[in-house]
Amino acid sequence: MTTPRLIVLTGISAAGKTTVGRLLAESFPRGAFVEGDQVREMVRTGRVDMSPDPGPDALDQLRLRYRQAAALADSFVATGFTAVVEDVIIGAELRTFLAAVRSPLVHLVVLAPETTAVGARETGRDKTGYGGEWTVDVLDRIFREQTPRLGLWLDSSGQTPAETVREILDRLPESLLSDPPELLRTERLLLRRVTDADLPSVLEIQCDPATNEHNATPPSVAEATAHLERWQRDWTEHGIGYWAIVLSETGETIGFGGIVQRRVGDTDGFNLYYRFRPSAWGKGYAPEMARAAIDWAAGARPERPVFVATRPENTAAKRVALKLGMVRVGLNRDHQGESPMAQYRRPLPAPEELHTERLWLRRLRANDLGDCAEIGGAEATGTHAQAMADWAERGLGYWAICSPETGELLGYGGLRHTTIDGAPALDLAYRFRDPARGQGLAAELSRAAHNWAERAHPELAVVPRPAADDLVGGSV
């Protein structure tokens, strides 16, 4: 690992931070170690130390110490060192410390040994971290109850310092921090909220003919300026918008992108977008940025799917979508005055969504009733109502059987819970539009349904339904 970064090492007193921190810094070709106690002892007179019930002077001096330690560590990173800074940084003050850091790549490692191990280490060292109101149990309780669960937490109770360092290095990617949504850090990128100062880069990138290969004409200066204004409104109105994509190593702005809230069809979701300078193409920056955006959305707004809309002929964008685990879900026709865009989306968890080679099976929706009636006639109304009830009450019901290329509803059917001869089972049935028959789609649906049922409900038999209503029995 050659890129310099800042590693914040915290835990309670006698957790092993100083010993581990020194060894960790020494494991890098260019490593620096910033010890919290040494920064604290720079105050020679008038010092007010922390207590379980600190006054304003103690908190002010604690935060001053944090700012000074963070600035010192940042200065090492800026000159090419990986800096390890350690201190007792717990409770709500952890975010105070992290807010003072300016380095683009920041890792947080939290040493959390058991209190018995901490007590043994305290008695065996030449300095004292406890006394008076401070006990191991008091500090450990504050630490575990009030500290945000960020970064990599390690129970180092049974480890030697060398073993702890080895685990930190082995799991370093898990400790990489980000503070979304206004600032996200990836392995190579810093993603930050756009500002007015980004306008020159916006104009260079958005108006470059090379970056508009799949557009009829590049945007004008006025249109690109309006893009930036709209991105900033998204931040103001929704708290999330497109980022400036910056190389951590050089500080160069290489593109713009991320996610914004958009209504896609009848679904409230996020639209994923990016545009990079040609000099940044082919280096994997697009999927790196996109993964960070998708992961943030999955954690912060799991109810909102992330969509990608791209020109059908844009093979590079489609390749990135597939690399991100997205699937084709029809066409997006919301782009006024433009031809429909190929639409991709991260799939929903099964059974709400399944994908086969030629089919997109998704949970049947209320607004699918018209299509069902076209396919199955009057009887389909009852089947549709039953499917709605099955999904709501049992978590499994008939799917809308769609084309992933166009999003067209080709049919409906699938699995539902039933009882046969007194035993629980799953019945399998379907009905297709006339043009979709005779193409082997029923067999493809049936295989997907059987395969899912074998994994999710191996105790239930899958039984083709007798042709008792508008559906026909399905089997493989």
Splitting the chain (476 residues) into consecutive groups of 10 residues, what average pLDDT does each group show? 83 90 96 94 90 84 92 93 94 83 85 88 71 79 86 92 95 75 83 91 95 88 96 89 89 94 82 95 94 86 86 87 88 67 85 93 94 93 94 93 94 92 91 94 94 92 70 54
Q: Is residue 187 part of a domain?
A: yes
CATH number of 269's domain = 3.40.630.30
DSSP 30: S
Q: At what angle do helices 380-394 and 369-376 cross, to 10 degrees?
A: 130
Same domain for 170 and 187 = no
CB 258 within 8 A of CB 270: no
Same domain for 148 and 58 = yes
Q: Is residue 83 part of a domain?
A: yes
138 half-sphere exposure, CB direction, 13 A CA radius: 10
Q: Is residue 152 part of a domain?
A: yes
Same domain for 455 and 396 = yes
Q: Is residue 391 part of a domain?
A: yes
Q: Which helix (H) or strand (E) holds 165?
A: helix 161-170
**Counting Cβ atoms within 10 Å, is residue 340 exposed (0-12), middle (13-18) or buried (19+)?**
middle
Same domain for 436 and 304 = no
What are the C-alpha distances in Å from 48 to residues 35, 56, 177, 187, 229?
18, 10, 31, 39, 48
Same domain for 128 and 26 = yes
Same domain for 415 and 384 = yes
Q: Is residue 1 part of a domain?
A: no
Q: What span, in angstroms and rounded, lies between the C-alpha atoms of 108 and 111?
A: 10
Q: Is 149 helix (H, G, I), strand (E, B) or coil?
A: coil
CB 353 within 8 A of CB 321: no
CB 464 within 8 A of CB 475: yes
Domain range for 402 is: 353-473
**Residue where a domain stops, chosen among 175, 194, 219:** 175
Same domain for 292 and 369 = no
The number of folded domains in the chain is 3
Same domain for 203 and 152 = no
Q: Is residue 248 part of a domain?
A: yes
Same domain for 167 and 28 = yes
CATH number of 20's domain = 3.40.50.300
pLDDT at 270: 93
Q: How many CB atoms lie under 10 A from the CB of residue 394? A: 10
Same domain for 295 and 165 = no
pLDDT at 436: 94
Same domain for 216 and 100 = no
Q: Is residue 146 part of a domain?
A: yes
**Residue where a domain stops, chosen among 140, 175, 210:** 175
Q: How many CB atoms lie under 10 A from the CB of residue 49? A: 11
Same domain for 150 and 53 = yes
Q: What span, in angstroms and rounded, lies between the C-alpha atoms of 77 and 55?
A: 33
**Residue where a domain stops, chosen among 317, 345, 373:** 345
DSSP per residue, 314-331: -HHHHHHHHHTT-EEEEE
